[in-house]
């Protein structure tokens, strides 16, 4: 019973935070986030920044896809500290999903933990097919590339 | 129990927007008793530049909030003076590695500091410049160097003093992109604009366009050619979306004498590399450059000697994580420095060449376990230095043997 109460409390905290806020990423949580075994559904992890116009294009594509298909998951990672502009950029086009920002850990350590092959170019997107496979793509992508990268049939 | 631990970890790392703690960055340890040092839990913004004055003092410029600060060292970086505030009136200042404040000296000894002032709309800015007539003890009010005052991108400036003392400032400018958007015409990337001062940075002529279709957010490199004219090197968007580099030599009025493709790696991406190049000219006129590109599927740092239509001696610098390379030449010696994350910490490396880039010896300079700025290679007389500002150690200077 004690355990149940604790779980409920923790769940409430997490849900509340996720509904209104951002999660600060460090190297450990970045490693967990991009571990293919943690994603059991097709999941898009979109790395973006406020000064990257192509990122906003990608976020628009992903937002539309996720809103049209509830089986897809979207997780965004702003590769910069939290600012009003980060929140506004996501809110403006109502980007769903868990929102991460860089925390106070060394940015290079977080980046390496997210994707050792990633060299800072943006947008960078990690596509998980939910069966343990992962595809990483730099640059703007369209719906067909996204579906293919998620292991879904291209419509 | 596993789920409990996972939930606990999630809660521990979850931060609600309204309750973000003060960033826990330490103030610069060398700032004891100074404005920056007294500020509690203020995040030290690491982007910084440094240059030696004619007396051999090293002057470093860095931002803290809405102020730019000038630090001075008379012992090659072992000790730093309390800072001088450059802009008396606070204003927004860009301060990331690709868009850092810069410092150089006018021919008459005036200290020149340039920076980008972000405006209210995202990705907009003005290029600002402040001058000191008393070797950095005080600064005049900053000026905006361009006439165009639209709230658009004028950012990522570079500043260089030509052989005849003219001061050149070049930057990334989106006025042509904005015009094309309004007319519903396609336009690749942004543009490079430049302006010239013939009074030591006190005033600037109307700006001129150097080239259409630059990349949008990579630093611009500059060096003085052997005839004293400025050379600028930037990441360009060649058709259809190849993000290689272009080189321009500027005339006395800031217009381009010529613009040519400088690198040929053919990185095709609709994205923002966030990696600008670096350039140095040897006494024999050879143009030595370092740059980042994705080639054959891997993002790597390259060195090469730029020549019309090609590159001599292109080769990789460092390992798979090498990044943020810079280059400087002092007399016949050349230094390439870069940083490289090893999975735990960031290492600073150098390669020194005494034979014009035919061969290099490698040096390990230092490490940083926290965040770090891009390292800067600095030439001073016959000597070469690496300047590196790191979160935990402060402003560090390495003399390169």
Q: What band does B196 get if pLDDT is binned at 50, 70 and 90?
A: very high
Select the residue from B13, B18, B243, B344 to test the A interface by mutation, using most A Cβ atoms within 10 A. B13
Strand-strand pairing, B190-197 and B221-224: unpaired
Q: What band does B44 get if pLDDT is binned at 50, 70 and 90?
A: low
Whether A155 has a pLDDT exceeding 90, the answer reads no
Question: Is B23 an 8 Å CB contact of chain A?
Answer: yes
Whether B32 has a pLDDT exceeding 90, the answer reads no
Among residues 86-105 of chain B, which lie with CB inside 8 Å of chain A? none
Chain B residues with CB under 8 Å of A87 CB are 17
Q: What is the mean pLDDT of residues A19-32?
A: 88
Integer Cα distance of A124 and A137 in angstroms: 6
Q: What is the mean pLDDT of residues B28-57?
A: 62
Give B236: exposed, middle or buried? Use CB within 10 Å, 0-12, 13-18, 19+: buried
Question: How many cross-chain Cβ pairs, A to B, lie less than 8 Å apart?
Answer: 131
Chain B residues with CB under 8 Å of A120 CB are 273-275, 323
Report yes or no: B25 and A104 within 8 Å, Cβ to Cβ: yes
Nearest CA in chain B to A88: B122
Chain A residues with CB under 8 Å of B10 CB are 10, 14, 23
pLDDT in tens, B224-254: 999 999 999 999 999 999 999 999 999 999 9
Other beta carbons within 10 angstroms of residue A148's beta carbon come to: 15
Sheet holding B298-307, edge to edge: B278-281, B287-295, B298-307, B310-317
Among the listed residues B295, B352, B345, B348, the one whose alpha carbon sits nearest the alpha carbon of residue B323: B348
pLDDT at B43: 54
Q: What is the mean pLDDT of residues B69-78?
A: 97
Q: What is the distance in angstroms between the Cα of A33 and the nearest Cα belonging to chain B?
A: 11
Residue contact A106–B372, C-beta within 8 A: yes
All structural domains of chain B, each given as residue ranges with its CATH number in brackets, are 1-43 (no CATH), 45-272 (2.120.10.10), 277-401 (2.120.10.10)
Whether B15 has a pLDDT exceeding 70, the answer reads no
- Three-state DSSP state, B333: strand
Map tokens 């010529």 to a residue.
B258
User: Nearest 5°: phi and psi at A14?
Assistant: -65, -45
- Three-state DSSP state, B246: strand
Report yes or no: B50 and B61 within 8 Å, Cβ to Cβ: yes
Residue contact A54–B272, C-beta within 8 A: yes
pLDDT in tens, A72-112: 999 999 999 999 999 999 999 999 999 999 999 999 999 99
Taking CA B323 as the corner, what is the angle to CA B168 and CA B65, rounded to the nearest 5 degrees?
60
Taking CA B372 as the corner, what is the angle to CA B99 and CA A111, rounded to the nearest 5 degrees?
90
Name the DSSP letter for residue B44. Answer: P
All structural domains of chain A, each given as residue ranges with its CATH number in brackets, are 22-149 (3.40.30.10)
Q: Which whole-number Å values give the CA distances from B286 to A152, A153, B67, B220, B283, in the listed order?
A: 52, 53, 38, 19, 7
Helix, strand and coil percent figures for chain A, each rounded to 5: 45, 20, 35
Q: What is the mean pLDDT of residues B319-328?
A: 97
pTM of the full structure:
0.88
Residue contact B272–A51, C-beta within 8 A: yes
**Bridge partners for B33 per DSSP:** none
Return the axis-axis angle of helices A2-20 and B2-13, rounded to nearest 10°.
Answer: 30
> Can you list the positions of beta strands (E) in chain A?
22-25, 43-48, 73-78, 98-102, 124-128, 134-138
pLDDT in tens, B80-109: 999 999 999 999 999 988 999 999 999 999
Residue contact A81–B23, C-beta within 8 A: yes
More confident residue, B351 or A9: B351
Among residues 39-78 of chain B, which lie with CB inside 8 Å of chain A? 43
pLDDT at A19: 36
Nearest CA in chain A to B274: A121
Integer Cα distance of A38 and B296 in angstroms: 30
Integer Cα distance of A66 and B401 in angstroms: 56
Residue contact A107–B343, C-beta within 8 A: no
Largest CA-CA distance found in chain A, in angstroms, rounded: 50
Q: What is the residue-wise DSSP string for A118-150?
A: --S-BSEEEEE-SSS-EEEEES---HHHHHHHT
pLDDT in tens, B379-396: 999 999 999 999 999 999
Among the listed residues B208, B127, B201, the one whose alpha carbon sits nearest the alpha carbon of residue B161: B201
Map tokens 């990268």 to a residue.
A149
Integer Cα distance of B15 and A102 in angstroms: 11
Distance of CA B258 to the CA centre of its chain: 23
Q: What is the overall mean pLDDT for chain B?
A: 90
Among the listed residues B288, B296, B333, the one whose alpha carbon sits nearest the alpha carbon of residue B314: B288
Integer Cα distance of B39 and B61 in angstroms: 18
Chain B residues with CB under 8 Å of A61 CB are none
pLDDT in tens, B137-182: 999 999 999 999 999 999 999 999 999 999 999 999 999 999 999 9
Chain B residues with CB under 8 Å of A108 CB are 341, 346, 371-372
Nearest CA in chain B to A51: B123
Q: What is the residue-wise DSSP string for B162-225?
A: -TTS-EEEEEEE-HHHHHHHHTT----SEEEEEEEESSTTS--PPPEEEEEEE-SS---EEEE-
Sheet holding B376-380, edge to edge: B376-380, B383-390, B394-400
Nearest CA in chain A to B299: A119
Integer Cα distance of B368 and B365 in angstroms: 11
Chain A residues with CB under 8 Å of B273 CB are 120-121
Nearest CA in chain A to B268: A139
Integer Cα distance of B372 and B370 in angstroms: 7
Select the residue from B26, B153, B272, B391 to test the A interface by mutation, using most A Cβ atoms within 10 A. B272
Nearest to B13 among A24, A120, A123 (CB): A24
Chain A residues with CB under 8 Å of B9 CB are 29, 32
Q: How many helices (H) and strands (E) does chain A have?
A: 6, 6
Question: Is B274 an 8 Å CB contact of chain A?
Answer: yes
Nearest CA in chain A to B190: A53
Residue contact B4–A7, C-beta within 8 A: yes
Integer Cα distance of B401 and B392 in angstroms: 25
- Three-state DSSP state, B138: coil
Integer Cα distance of B37 and B342 in angstroms: 30
Nearest CA in chain A to B9: A29
Element (H, E) at B388: strand B383-390
């Amino acid at each position: 019973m004690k355990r149940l109460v604790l779980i409920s409390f923790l769940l409430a905290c997490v849900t509340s935070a996720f509904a209104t806020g951002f999660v600060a990423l460090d190297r450990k949580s970045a490693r967990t986030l991009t571990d293919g075994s943690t994603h059991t559904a097709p999941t898009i992890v979109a790395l973006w920044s406020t000064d990257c116009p192509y990122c906003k294009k990608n976020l628009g594509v992903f937002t539309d896809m996720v809103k049209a298909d509830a089986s897809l998951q979207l997780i965004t990672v702003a590769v910069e500290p939290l600012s009003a502009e980060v929140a506004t950029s996501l809110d403006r086009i109502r980007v769903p999903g868990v929102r991460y920002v860089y925390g106070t850990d060394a940015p290079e350590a977080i980046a390496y933990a997210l994707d050792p092959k990633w060299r800072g170019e943006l947008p960078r997107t990690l596509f998980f097919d939910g069966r343990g496979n992962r595809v990483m793509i730099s640059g703007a992508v369209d719906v067909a590339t996204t579906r293919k990268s998620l292991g879904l049939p291209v419509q | 129990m596993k789920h409990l631990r996972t939930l606990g970890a999630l809660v521990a790392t979850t931060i609600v927007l309204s309750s973000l703690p003060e960033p826990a960055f330490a103030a610069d340890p060398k700032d004891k008793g100074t404005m920056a040092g007294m500020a509690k839990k203020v995040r030290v913004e690491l982007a910084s530049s440094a240059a030696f004055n004619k007396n051999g003092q090293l002057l470093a410029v860095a931002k803290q909030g809405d102020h730019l600060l000038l630090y001075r060292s008379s012992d090659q970086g072992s000790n730093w003076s309390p800072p001088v505030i450059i802009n008396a009136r606070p204003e927004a200042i860009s301060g990331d590695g690709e868009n850092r404040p810069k410092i150089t000296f006018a021919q008459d000894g005036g200290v020149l500091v340039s920076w980008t002032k972000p405006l209210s709309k995202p990705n907009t800015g003005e290029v600002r410049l402040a001058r000191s007539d008393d070797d950095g003890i005080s600064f005049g009010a900053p000026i905006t160097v361009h006439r165009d005052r639209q709230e658009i991108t004028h950012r990522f400036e570079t500043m260089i003093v030509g052989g005849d003392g003219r001061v050149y400032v070049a930057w990334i400018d989106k006025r042509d992109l904005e015009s094309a958007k309004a007319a519903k015409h396609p336009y690749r990337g942004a543009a490079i604009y430049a302006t010239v001062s013939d009074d030591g940075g006190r005033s600037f002529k109307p700006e001129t366009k150097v080239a259409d279709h630059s990349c949008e957010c990579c630093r611009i490199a500059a060096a003085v050619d052997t005839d004293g004219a400025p050379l600028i090197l930037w990441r360009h968007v060649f058709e259809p979306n190849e993000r290689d580099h272009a080189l321009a030599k500027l005339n006395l009025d800031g217009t381009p004498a010529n613009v040519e493709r400088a690198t040929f790696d053919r990185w095709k991406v609709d994205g923002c590399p966030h990696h600008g190049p670096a350039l140095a000219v040897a006494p024999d006129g050879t143009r030595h450059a370092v740059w980042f590109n994705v080639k054959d599927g891997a993002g790597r740092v390259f060195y090469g000697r730029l020549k019309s239509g090609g590159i001599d001696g292109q080769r990789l610098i460092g390992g798979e994580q090498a990044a943020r390379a810079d280059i400087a030449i002092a007399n016949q010696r050349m230094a390439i420095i870069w940083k490289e994350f090893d999975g735990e910490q960031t290492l600073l490396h150098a390669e020194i060449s005494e034979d014009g880039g035919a061969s290099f010896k490698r040096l390990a300079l230092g490490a940083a376990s926290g965040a770090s700025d891009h390292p800067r290679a600095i030439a001073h007389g016959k000597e070469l230095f690496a300047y590196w500002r790191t979160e935990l150690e402060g402003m560090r200077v390495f003399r390169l043997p």
